[in-house]
Structure 1
Amino acid sequence: MNQNIEVLKEILDISSERFMLSVITTDVYGEPVLPIKGDNRLCTTLLHQQHDSLLAVMKKTLKEAKNIKNPLVYEIWPGIHTIIAPVTSGGTTYFLWAGLMIEEETKHLVKKQLENNYPDVNGWERVLDETPILTIEKKREWISWINKLIKLSSAYSDERSEYVSYQIYNDLLMDAFQNSDLELNALMGKIFGKRNDFDFMGLAEKREEETYSITSVSGEAAQGLLNAEFSVGEGFLGRVLITGDNEYWENIKNDPRSYFFNKFQFHPAALYCFPFTKHDGSLALFFGGHITRNTFSKELEYAKTLAIILENSLLTGALTNENTQQHQRLSSLVEVCKMMVTRPEYKRIIYILVDISLSLVEGPFSCMVLKDSTSGKMKLVSRGDHNENMGVYAQDVINRYYNDSQRISTDVVLKNSSDETRWEHPVIECPLFYKDELLGVLCVGTNSMAQSRLNEDMKFLQTLSIIGGTTLQLAQNQDGGKDDKQVYSLYKATGQFDPAAFVNAKKASQMAGEFTGKLGLSSWNVQDLINSCLLFNYNPAFIREMIPDSRVASIVEDAKDLIGEKSTVQWDEVSLESQSLAIILTYVKYNNLEIIKSFTSKPSEIMSKFIAFIHDGQLIEEEVSTEAFQSKGNIESIEQTIKELKISPREQEVLDLVIQGLNNREIGEKLYISGHTVKNHVTRIFQKLDVSDRAHAISKVYQLRYEQSHSN
């Protein structure tokens, strides 16, 4: 076997030098699988370009020219030619590329084209002088030579095929056991792509009591089967669900049992189906076969091995996910409890409950419906997928938990969609009590249909709601002193003489409560800023007279000076609270970031943070009366620049989406990066935060923010 490798390499070297061509061997996707042989100067030069390199063009060619059956001369660039030859051996197809060559008549045009496309490369004329000229005689000679290489490659591949099979099994097993987070479709794609023994493969899993669905399919012709449903006993696949035996069928194109496949414009000629039991006790089916061949041979043993690998992969993934979820949930409860031993902050606890429940249940949304202790109005704080039915659903929660005269149960319940709510997902509803007082309802949407997973989620949320209720009560007891009540009374009075200013003050105070998370202010300074937003419409002298021991008057006075026509102070001469107040009130009034940018010739750090805050807003907070819904306001997504940990801007974006409950695939789609890149970012973030999972990351961000604010 080693001797054949050396012979193949030697012939490639000798032949490529003889014909002044370079030979590149690739897979069907255009990825090189052997070292490049030969020293065709035009080929070498184009291989090393940063854009439109030769390899990139080769990959594009294979996507466009899918039906290459025999060696041919192909015009890979205008006026530039290569020989493409498919080599199929041992069930695997490769491509040999031999080139590059040009035609004498178009040499000057090729030179102009290359100079335009690659202006940084000098000496194109010399390169083309050394490039072989394509003639009819040369074409015949090169095609004959490439055919000999194909025969040699096939012989070499046949000898290696048995060894390769064992290597494939080993690689797949390593993927299955080491990458527990490998998605099912990705694993199926790896299985199907390793060898071309079959035209199609698929996996069917249980959906309902007597209904199964095809959840993964590989093979272009079989894509129409994805999500197709069948019943126990229906067709070939349904029969295996009854017998529980490994089955295979040949010459089935005219078999009536093929009707299930024919409905989806799919016509298999031979089919195998191997059942196996999943971790939750349900049966799954691994199937595949041929479209053009009516019979099987040795490849059935390969399929049986793949079924075992797939079964073990699903089992490993299920166990790993189960252990990870248990660990994350326990960690989350520990972190929430830690908040109780520090000074609890009401809003922060609400956001933690919403974020952690969304992240760990991995549902479409999470929200908290609660009554504001100061105003008595109902509020909705939510994250995730929002649609027009969110308000309808929140009103339904209010009616059932707050307006119903019957005693509310403390148990967590699963609420399914109804005609009244028109919400497409089941929702786990968790009332938060302290003694007999209802403090709020945590509502978490779920995509899970498995009863075992629902039970686990409900147990976790039951515990979380008990801890959350106690923590919220502690926060309420510590929030809001005499001054705050007086501020609220003055703010309410604004609504009588200036309704527009009253609305703007409310919007500003909500925005201030969230934006200050970026500034590292202490909780007391945050409250001063919120109070300043509420009382901005009053004269500072009047505020000072009514609340003499408060900083609110000074904050309002400096903010008014900053945005006045004849400002007497500089931005860096006043407090962060005054700067924030000036920026927030201006934005609320004009809804225009350009006005804020024009305050100074160079945007200050606080302005830059505010602009980023507006762009990144994700969390939604609404005030909901029991009669109608009030206007919405954006709340900052939970993103925190932790400078001492050197988290990059991109890692901050990823961390923010992790906290919002998105998985790696969803983060990749949001940021237009690959899942592999997301995984690398997440790993580095966990290392910098010194945490092991997402739950710890969420809690760590809140904890660090809390510690920073209280160190000032």
Structure 2
Amino acid sequence: MMNIMKAIVDLIDTYSTNLGLPIRLINLAGEEKIVSSENSGTILMGDVRKILEIGRTSKEPHIVTLGEEGQMTNYIISSPIHSEESNGYFLVGGPFQKGIFHIKDEEKLTIVHKMELLTVTISILIRELDNDAYRERKAMIEKDFSSLSDEIDSVLNKTMCLNKLDFIGYAKKEQDHFSIQSTFGQRVDVLLNQTFFIGEGLLGQAVALGKQVYWNSTMKDRRAEFLNKYHLFPHHLICSPIEIDGEVTGLVFGGRFSETPISNEILYVQKRLSFFLAEREKVQMVLKNANRLTNNLQMLMDTLEIFVHSKDVKGLSNKVIHSYHRLSENSFVVFTLNGECTHRGLYDEHTFIAHQKFVKGSTEYTFHRSSERLVHQRIEWDNVRYGALTIKFPFDLTQEEKTALDFVCKLISIKYMLTNWKLQEPILVESNPDHEEIALYEIDKITDLHKVIEQLPITKREQEILDLILEGLNNQEVASYLNISSHTVKNHITNIYRKLNVTDRVQAMVKIYRIKYDM
């Protein structure tokens, strides 16, 4: 726990030095929990109440100006950082040493993005602090059940012998049914991998009731048909549901074929076993989530480092693809940027088709199929989509993981624009015989994209092809749309590049959008 707190303090100090701003971690009650060592300013008393109001409702970091005329002060306030052990926190940077109107837009954008990364990182670390309570609980459970610290099969076998049962089994919930995954004892191996629904037979009824049930005369009970059809006719049956957060996720069942009754002590041990298995599953879930959060934190750090030092977007995007392939437990990941598609993992046609539709403008964001979660994330800037990242997760994402995914895709978008938006001196483009010569700086005055294309010194057919390229179609798709050969399309594109003095479609696209937005 101390190591995590030190990491949070060091992060705040590092970002404070980097931004040249004092940074504070404040809880939602207004108490300052951590203040950066570079504390070159204090929050004015009159601003505290307004900062609290903004901090509780802020959706993303943004710069605000508070105070009265003549005493205006600028701060940057983060979105809330949620915590299960407290009411939550938020970050406050400032006051700024110079007025906000003297800070360039690029510098403001950098400050906001760095504050956003710091918020995400601290959120993950605070979540780790919350998990310490679960780890302490795990230690207590392992101490109480030190003899039951083996795998489930070993635990079941020991319990069967301890209780002198004839058989014992374990069923786990899978979507809308339960599957029997472990069995020990006389003749019950035939139940392995068999399934039952909630409410079906004695096992299903125990699940539906959500409490331990003991039947002492199942030989005459028609609800025992599920067992009877496998030639199992127990006289006594105990069913103990495994419940986590109000939901039955599993079932331990056992019994005797003889008429020897089952004592209250055995019922207690069986109930205690179901509780232990529930706690064991909770601990495994917490540790797994903690590991996921740690991996996400490392991925964010690595991605940011590559963002700062890489010269182009390719290295950054490759890192993201590789990271999410690993974070999604080696699931299928597909990424498209400016018409170029890359994928990693075992190919999945459904995921690939859904990704292509999303790239072309589908509004679908997530798709659930059995135990899979298909997540799409846009690569866009200024409402212009340049590509997308699609990942087939085998689990639901936490809010921190969703935020991290959104953040790294924003980094890709920023790196892409920084790489390609290189302002050039106005040049005179070679004209086509059917067109008058026109300087690109004259086209800069045009704001409508289609009008920009119409004014370019290229033929009507070349204008059609350029328009389709800007919509994201590749050469083959353009050829199919215009009913011409891909070779003809390639020739037209070569002419377009020559006339616009560019070398590829990325530069052509950037030049057109730069003209449109008067960049």
Shorter chain as denominator, the TM-score bin is 0.3 to 0.5
Greater Rg, structure 1 or structure 2?
1
TM-score (normalised: structure 1) = 0.35
How high is the TM-score relative to the length of structure 2? 0.46
